């Protein structure tokens, strides 16, 4: 169950819009299907959305739930994520105000609103939906390599780190592949992807360890029939101390044939509090390790590099793309800034070669 595609969203990013933690807000603004009534962040009022995050959207930034209500918002979408995914206590009164004002709530945190007695009771009284998109289905099982049997060509994004643009890259690649006349599905494996696709997919990072690969296998098998390509959204990184297990489960659950290695150009160390001492791994090392780890089920080749050059000027961004190409001998691009054609060319060519 998800919102109607016509439900108008207020995206909640209080205190955080465009400051590095609002990736859910930005993903939904860039790729979501629902109309946007407003973004809520009292510290960003006065700016436009394009000024704050570089995404074209006519909706205003407002300072309160009440203002969003006056713009006919029908659902509050919690748009900032925290490492650990807990519900900040400071959000509670805004969430309750939104419910009282007649809004549904879309939540991607690990903490589920429907399990919070106070919030659940209020939502029931007002007959509003609490959509905890990270809640996994009950009927999960262990993986058994069944993704190997699909006819579609499976492409997984992997990364040098978490929060580098794996979802964005997978979405851009799927869109470009469709433009070329192929059937291509995007498989959401995280909260923002699920919001963008209108409720499909499973947040694999929320699934219990033994069933992570099985959950991935399940959504790949569901998405694959009738498709030429399946683009699976990656999570975390084999190099990330907190999330590497999720990354490997995605690799073994989805059994990709090709990988796109994603990297955020401005990063110097691994992303997350307390991880400053862990440097960004080199492209070559990540390519080698990613290919090695898929090889237990089906060897996948890294066929291109997807950069996220946000924050760099155009000349520097182009320099980073060239540098990545030189370092790896693979095509590279920033899919959002320079288009995804070089990566789709590489994927199509590799599929032909391995047919």
Cβ nearer to a copy of itself, comparing 288 with 316: 288
Closer Cβ to a copy of itself, 56 or 273, answer by number: 273
Asked if 316 interacts with a copy of itself (CB under 8 A), we say: no
Decide: 232 and 193 in contact? Cβ < 8 Å: no
214-233: which residues touch a copy of itself (CB under 8 A)?
A: 214
The H-or-E segment that residue 294 falls in is: helix 283-294
Q: Supply the angle between the helices 314-328 and 283-294 in degrees, to the nearest 10.
A: 50
Give me the least distance between CB of 151 and a copy of itself, in Å please: 18
* Residue number with CB closer to a copy of itself (49 or 113): 113
Could you identify the residue written with the tokens 């419910």?
99
Say if residues 172 and 180 touch (Cβ distance below 8 Å). Answer: no
Q: Considering the rule CB under 8 A, would residue 146 count as an interface residue with a copy of itself?
A: yes
| Closest CB to a copy of itself among residues 60, 145 | 145
* Sole binder of a copy of itself in the list 1, 226, 268, 273 (CB under 8 A): 273
Residues 50, 257: Cα–Cα separation, whole Å: 37
DSSP string across 43-96:
TSBTBBHHHHHS----PBEESSHHHHHHTT--EEEE----TT----GGGHHHHH
CA dist., res. 211 & res. 102, Å (int): 36
Q: Is 83 near a copy of itself (CB under 8 A)?
A: yes
Our finding on whether 275 is near a copy of itself (CB under 8 A) is yes
- Residues numbered 228-257 forming contacts with a copy of itself, rule: CB under 8 A: 238-253
User: Closest CB to a copy of itself among 51 and 141?
Assistant: 141
User: Does 291 contact a copy of itself by CB under 8 A?
Assistant: no
Smallest gap from residue 142 Cβ to a copy of itself (A): 4
Which range of residues in 94-102, 173-181, 206-214, 308-316 is near a copy of itself by CB under 8 A? 206-214
Task: For the chain, report the end-to-end CA distance as a whole number of angstroms.
Answer: 38
Using CB under 8 A, which of 117, 181, 209, 226 touches a copy of itself? Answer: 209
> How buried is residue 155: exposed, middle or buried, by Cβ count under 10 Å (0-12/13-18/19+)?
buried
Please name the helix (run of DSSP H) or strand (run of DSSP E) that holds residue 98, with its range, or none: helix 92-100
Least Å distance between CB 306 and a copy of itself? Answer: 21
113-142 residues in contact with a copy of itself (CB under 8 A) are 141-142
- Residues 6 or more apart from 222 whose CB is under 8 A from it? none
Residues that bind a copy of itself (CB under 8 A): 83-85, 110, 141-146, 204-210, 212-214, 238-253, 272-275, 277-278, 281, 289, 292-293, 296-297
């Amino acid at each position: 169950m998800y919102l109607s595609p016509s439900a108008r969203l207020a995206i909640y990013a209080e205190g955080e819009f465009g400051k590095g933690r609002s990736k859910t807000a930005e993903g939904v603004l860039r790729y979501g299907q629902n109309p946007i009534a407003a973004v809520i962040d009292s510290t960003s009022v006065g700016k436009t959305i394009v000024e704050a995050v570089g995404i074209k959207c006519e909706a205003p930034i407002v300072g309160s739930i009440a203002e969003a209500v006056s713009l006919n918002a029908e659902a509050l979408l919690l748009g900032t994520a925290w490492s650990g995914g807990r519900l900040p206590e400071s959000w509670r009164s805004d969430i309750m105000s939104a419910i009282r004002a007649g809004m549904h709530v879309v939540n991607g945190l690990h903490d589920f609103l429907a399990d919070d007695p106070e919030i659940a009771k209020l939502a029931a009284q007002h007959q509003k939906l609490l959509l905890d998109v990270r809640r996994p289905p009950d009927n999960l099982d262990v993986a058994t390599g069944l993704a190997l049997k699909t006819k579609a060509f499976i492409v997984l994004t992997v990364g040098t780190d978490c929060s580098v643009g794996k979802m964005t890259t997978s979405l851009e690649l799927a869109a470009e592949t469709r433009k070329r006349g192929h059937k291509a599905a995007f498989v959401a494996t995280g909260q923002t992807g699920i919001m963008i696709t209108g409720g499909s997919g499973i947040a694999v990072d929320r699934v219990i360890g033994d069933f992570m690969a099985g959950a991935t296998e399940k959504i790949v098998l569901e998405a694959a029939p009738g498709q030429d390509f399946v683009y699976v959204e990656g999570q975390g990184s084999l190099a990330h101390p907190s999330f590497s297990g999720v990354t490997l489960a995605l690799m073994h659950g989805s059994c990709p044939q090709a990988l796109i290695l994603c990297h955020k150009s401005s990063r110097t160390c691994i992303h997350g509090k307390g991880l400053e001492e862990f440097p960004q791994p080199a492209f070559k090392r990540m390519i080698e390790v990613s290919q090695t780890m898929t090889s237990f089920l089906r060897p996948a080749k890294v066929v291109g590099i997807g950069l996220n050059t946000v924050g760099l000027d155009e000349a520097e961004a182009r320099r980073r793309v060239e540098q990545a190409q030189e370092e790896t001998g693979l095509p590279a691009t920033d899919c959002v800034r320079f288009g995804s054609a070089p990566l789709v060319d590489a994927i199509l060519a590799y599929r032909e070669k391995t047919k």
